[in-house]
Amino acid sequence: MINDLPKIVPVILSGGSGTRLWPVSRPERPKQLLPLTADETMLQLTMKRIKGFSAASIGRPIVVASAAHASIIHEQITVSGLEDYLVLLEPFGRNTAPAIALAAFEAQASDAMLVMPSDHTIADLPAFHEAIARALPLVAEGWLVTFGITPDAPETGYGYIKMGEICGDMIHEVVRFVEKPNADRAAEMLAEGNHAWNAGIFMFRADAYLAALGRHQPAILAAVKASLAAAERNGVQIVPDPQAFAVCPSDSVDYAVMEREARVACVPVNMGWSDVGSWDSLHSVSIRDMDNNAVRGEAILLGARNCLINSDGPRVTLVDVDNLIVVISQGEVMILRRGESQKVRKVTEAIKAAAMAAE
């Protein structure tokens, strides 16, 4: 059967194990495996993100995840109704370049891999789909494409992409990738206007990616290839050989490939994207009541404004308070001033230090 449409394979990276959303997010159950923004987990939402896209056929999605999360990942995917999928279980994390390479070897029969982190939200899916459609011709020509978020604030928490000449339908060549800037530099880039946030969302042909990886990081390519040759395959699950994978260098796709190739393009897109990198940003992307409160769990609110409540069980009562983030999870209660959620790192550090002192 001949199908004129190109075939896109969604590749979902579930490698994160951050602690920025402590106490909900923990190493054994990181952010992407939690229902933070909706009734479904962020992984489940990501797996549905390409649904309804009509300019291509959608191939079997590939999830690259930590072996430690195998059973919960299978459970979440099957609960969400998906039967035809593939999970690549990394015995240990080696950053994004090897993770994407694992998927690329399994996606060689497709026309494009759409690489997406599993722990972001995108509010405007039509805008995302439209950007994908515009990028497909460049991908077909072998370009490595990144989706850059049109910035609306001088964020210092993201990397930036400087865009140059037009090379496609509202698509620009990438001039350079910029590390997370300081506030002054971020403001400059916002004013210049030809910069986008690096969201870690990519699209390219599997062979184009593997060829580029071979040019710049042949050791990664070789280790990934060897680990797959000796992989343990079992139904929808592939476990690369740990010994072969152990020698793989650790590197990000940005450093290993995107920054070093010539034909790299950026599709600027404004699609209500968030990396939900903090409790404050979860408040921003959540549905809120008339008093700007975002509530998950049972709550009694008597004069509460601008608050986030996220409880895994206990009922929360707020009386005459504002701008609080209240998180209750697994026997921990955290209350912090809104706008200060980057300090969650200090909390986890304090807990780690106390635990070490107690040993």
**Identity of the residue, 196 or 326, whose beta carbon is nearer to a second copy in the bound complex:** 326
- 323 backbone dihedrals φ, ψ, rounded to 5°: 55, 45
Cβ at position 318, least distance to a second copy in Å: 5
Select from 43, 206, 223, 336 the one that contacts a second copy (CB under 8 A): 336
Which one of the spans 46-54, 124-132, 172-180, 336-344 is the region binding a second copy (CB under 8 A)? 336-344
Binding mask 53-82 for a second copy (x = CB under 8 A): ------------------------------
Asked if residues 286 and 274 have their Cβ atoms less than 8 Å apart, the reply is: no
Which one of the spans 5-13, 127-135, 220-228, 339-347 is the region binding a second copy (CB under 8 A)? 339-347
249 binds a second copy (CB under 8 A): no
Cβ at position 351, least distance to a second copy in Å: 7
347 binds a second copy (CB under 8 A): yes
Q: For the segment 275-334, give every residue that binds a second copy (CB under 8 A).
A: 300, 302, 311, 313-321, 324, 326, 328, 331-334
Say how many residues make up the chain.
359
1: which 2 tokens? 């059967």
3-class DSSP state of 249: coil
**CA neighbor of 118 nearest in space, from 25, 9, 12, 29:** 12
Task: Compute the distance between CA of residue 36 and CA of residue 118 in angstroms, rounded to an integer.
Answer: 12
Quote the Cα angle for 160-165-170, to 5°.
80
**β 121-122/144-149 pair status:** unpaired
Quote the Cα angle for 88-91-95, to 5°.
80
Q: For the segment 23-52, give every residue that binds a second copy (CB under 8 A).
A: 23
Contacts of 301-306 with CB under 8 Å at 24 or more apart are 306/338
Cβ at position 50, least distance to a second copy in Å: 38
**Identity of the residue, 5 or 333, whose beta carbon is nearer to a second copy in the bound complex:** 333
Number of residues that bind a second copy (CB under 8 A): 30
Going along 205-250, which residue ranges are E strands? 232-234, 237-239
- Contacting residues toward a second copy, per CB under 8 A: 23, 300, 302, 311, 313-321, 324, 326, 328, 331-337, 340, 343-344, 346-347, 350-351
